Structure 1
């Protein structure tokens, strides 16, 4: 798989000054996780499937997880996500990777870091033919650039089969983290405030 000559620019989110947090009316407050899980369990199959594809772009994985609803709790759902991800074929992984973006760098990252990371991403893609993915759920934002650069440099020494295994593990972790974020009450376009999965 070949990609264009240039990599997409790292997005730097706009950050304004500190804002006061207004009181949220009772009817618009984010519902508790169990309510959101109930909404996921009862949502139409197409809506649940769409939410899952936002977490990992593999129709086979999303279909398998959606088809095994209802889940009694979030832990059971995340375990099912993990199990389904272990069965992904190389073609499924390639499809998921094609929809992954480069890790977003935190606001204020120096241009030198952007340059180093762009070069590292280019070297990685030239070697393995797909975008570099890494789960940064437990990493502080200010440590993100160093962790990504360190990860790329370390994994460039892998042979293609070793890297396929590592990449699959990172995708599994990304999928679980994204779904947990959706269903632990984080606001998302994919979730309605009443706990149901909303359409696009």
Structure 2
């Protein structure tokens, strides 16, 4: 029997992607990666439980959906683990004092760290953006601020998830 040829092309198996590795990772490992993105166990478990994801976009959509569904307790858990964004290297001392004072006022008013997504923002604009954000959001009532903080957490988690996948070679 002679072998049949199919147009002279050789089938080359595709290499696994970072998404493939995430999809097949043990649940505990996937949850660990996710918890580095957002410190909500319910959020991480939900995303890990719905694997495999056919595309990165599907994973990010699931991340967004799970973030929108955070309960008040889940949100409190995630906010408790957040820290203030780092100032750019070389920021002058008065900037640190202004940031510390604004953050202290924010924490005193709302009981959790100020969260703001800085994705896509040039480093030299970060300080002004954070300070303006804190000052502006200090005028929110506590319920309104929880909604804003939840949205910022969702954006931060999404950015961290993308960075984690990129860092792993995506």
**TM-score w.r.t. structure 1 length?**
0.75
Give the match for residue 177 of structure 1.
Answer: 159
What RMSD over aligned residues (CA atoms) do the two structures have, in Å?
1.2
Q: Per-residue displacement from partner, 1:118-137 (whole Å, max 9, x unpaired)? A: 00000000100100000000
Looking at both structures, which has the greater relative contact order when contacts are Cα pairs under 8 Å and sequence separation is at least 6?
A: 1
Q: 2:103 matched to which residue of 1?
A: 121
Unaligned 5+ runs, structure 2:
1-15
Moved over 2 A (4+): none
The total of aligned residue pairs comes to 155
User: What pairs up with 1:128-167 in 2 under 5 angstroms?
Assistant: 128-167=110-149
- CA–CA distance in 2 between the matches of 1:121 and 1:74? 34
Match 1:60 to one of 28, 42, 64: 42
Task: Provide the secondary structure at the position in 1 that maps to 2:164.
Answer: helix
SS in 2 for 1:82: helix
Find the aligned partners of 1:100 and 1:122 in 2 and give their Cα distance: 14
Distance 1:128 1:99 in 2: 15
Q: 1:172: how far off?
A: 0.2
Candidates 88, 107, 112, aligned match of 1:106: 88
Q: With the length of structure 2 as denominator, give the TM-score of the two structures.
A: 0.89
Secondary structure in structure 2 of the residue aligned to 1:136? coil
Q: Which structure 1 segments of 5+ residues have no match?
A: 1-33, 188-192, 196-200
In 2, the alpha carbon distance for the partners of 1:93 and 1:84 equals 11
1:50 and 2:32 correspond: yes
